[in-house]
Amino acid sequence: MGKLDGKVAIVTGGARGLGRAYARRLAGLGAKIAVSDLNLKSYAEFEGEAKAMTAETTVDEIKADGGDALGFEFDIGDRDAVFAMVDEVVKAWGTVDILVANAGGGRGKPRETTATLVPQDLLELVTRMNFYGTVHSCSAVAPAMKAQKSGKIVTVASYAGSVAGIGGGYAHYGANKAAIAHYTRYLAQELGPYNINCNCIAPGVIETARIVELVGARSGDNEGNREIALRRNGQPEDCAKVVEFLTTDLSDYVSGALIPIDGGWNRAG
Ligand SMILES: NC(=O)c1ccc[n+]([C@@H]2O[C@H](COP(=O)([O-])OP(=O)(O)OC[C@H]3O[C@@H](n4cnc5c(N)ncnc54)[C@H](O)[C@@H]3O)[C@@H](O)[C@H]2O)c1
């Protein structure tokens, strides 16, 4: 018996990286998984992500492991498409018990995205894929969760949503992640009376294959991660374990929380 046997989970942005780790972990606990992404083969953009794949897509990986999974390809910023996916999931499996609103990320270079210089197109794109995508996803699953008087929602912020990068670069991303964290507090207030737990995670530097390719790995006790109390970067499983906690009965009395998964990162130190 898995802890999530019979449960239905949606993981957005699940084609690679952290979303893939969440989808596979929840599937391993017995949940049926709907994986959504702009591109279900987005792993192909990064050699390390592609190498890690054991099947064509995350959906195929879950099925190969004996699980139940559906794939959906659309832009998370498209409200109608998000609602249509949830309708299809409910039609197929009867309800939605868990949402991990993971799709998102930054775009642009830090020096070109300081607080007053963020180009309008990047501001709109990053807001659409992070904040709007999160609001659409939570809004779309709420009716099914309210009707059954239970649910677990996990949203995804970032360390950058709590601490401003030195020099002010990536302001559009950090501000979006701060907005997601605060939105989750409102969400928890609205949905708490329906026995729906709503929490937000704030990863630090997590070594997905994409991050390793883009910024290089900094694991181990070295100059690069002196500000991290645990003296190492995070691994996708470090985040997936917290997502397991927040989507199972272990967290039944936790809601409205912002949980850092950053090894005790202290930029002031
Ligand atoms: N990796 C880290 O160190 C880290 C740190 C803090 C926060 N995060 C957050 O965690 C989440 C996952 O991060 P990751 O490192 O796995 O990112 P990633 O870029 O590797 O994966 C994100 C996935 O989301 C999909 N996606 C992007 N835009 C989309 C859209 N408009 N509609 C639907 N899908 C879309 C991508 O195709 C991709 O498959 C993001 O929200 C990110 O901001 C990551």
Quote the Cα angle for 203-181-167, to 5°. Answer: 65
Domain-wise residue ranges, the chain: 8-261
Mean pLDDT taken over the chain: 96
pTM as predicted: 0.98
> How many residues would you count in the chain?
269
**What is the position in ligand 1's atom list of the atom closest to the CA of 130?**
41
> How many distinct helices (H) and strands (E) make up the chain?
9, 7
CA–CA dist 184, 194 (Å, integer): 15
The residue nearest atom 19 of ligand 1, judged by CA position, is 105
**What is the position in ligand 1's atom list of the atom closest to the CA of 160?**
6
pLDDT > 90 in the chain, percent: 93
Q: Which residues contact 245 (CB under 8 A, 6 or more apart)?
A: 251
Amino acid in position 234? G
User: 130 CA distance to ligand 1 centroid (A)?
Assistant: 9
pLDDT digits (tens, 9 = 90+) for 24-42: 999 999 999 999 999 999 9
Name the token pair of 114: 């300081």
Q: Which residues contact 158 (CB under 8 A, 6 or more apart)?
A: 173, 174, 177, 202, 203
- Does 173 qualify as catalytic in the annotation? yes
**What is the position in ligand 1's atom list of the atom closest to the CA of 157?**
7
Whether 184 and 228 have beta carbons less than 8 Å apart is answered as no
Q: Is the pLDDT of residue 185 over 60?
A: yes
User: 37 CA distance to ligand 1 centroid (A)?
Assistant: 10
Give the model's pLDDT for residue 269.
Answer: 45
User: 136 CA distance to ligand 1 centroid (A)?
Assistant: 16
Give the model's pLDDT for residue 52.
Answer: 96
Q: Is the pLDDT of residue 224 over 80?
A: no
φ, ψ for residue 93 (rounded to 5)? -120, 0
User: 23 CA distance to ligand 1 centroid (A)?
Assistant: 13
Which whole number is the average pLDDT over 57-75?
Answer: 98
pLDDT > 70 in the chain, percent: 96
Whether 129 and 39 have beta carbons less than 8 Å apart is answered as no
Q: Specify the CATH number of the domain 8-261.
A: 3.40.50.720
Mutate which of 38, 74, 100, 235 for ligand 1 pocket (most atoms within 8 A of beta carbon): 38
Q: What separation in angstroms does the CA of 136 have from each of 1, 111, 128, 131?
A: 33, 30, 10, 9
Other residues' Cβ atoms within 10 Å of the Cβ of residue 59:
24
Strands (E), the chain: 8-12, 32-37, 69-73, 98-101, 151-156, 196-203, 258-261
Q: Is the pLDDT of residue 149 over 70?
A: yes
Q: Which residue has the tokens 């929380």?
A: 257
User: 13 CA distance to ligand 1 centroid (A)?
Assistant: 6
Q: Is the pLDDT of residue 238 over 80?
A: yes
Name the token pair of 152: 């677990």
Catalytic residue among 173, 183, 194, 253: 173
DSSP letter for each residue of 222-236: SGGGTTBTTSS-B-H
Enumerate residues lining ligand 1, CB below 6 A: 13, 15-19, 37-39, 42, 75-77, 102-105, 129, 156, 158, 203, 205-206, 208, 210-211
DSSP letter for each residue of 133-153: HHHHHHHHHHHHHHHHT-EEE
The residue nearest atom 38 of ligand 1, judged by CA position, is 13
Give the model's pLDDT for residue 221.
Answer: 58
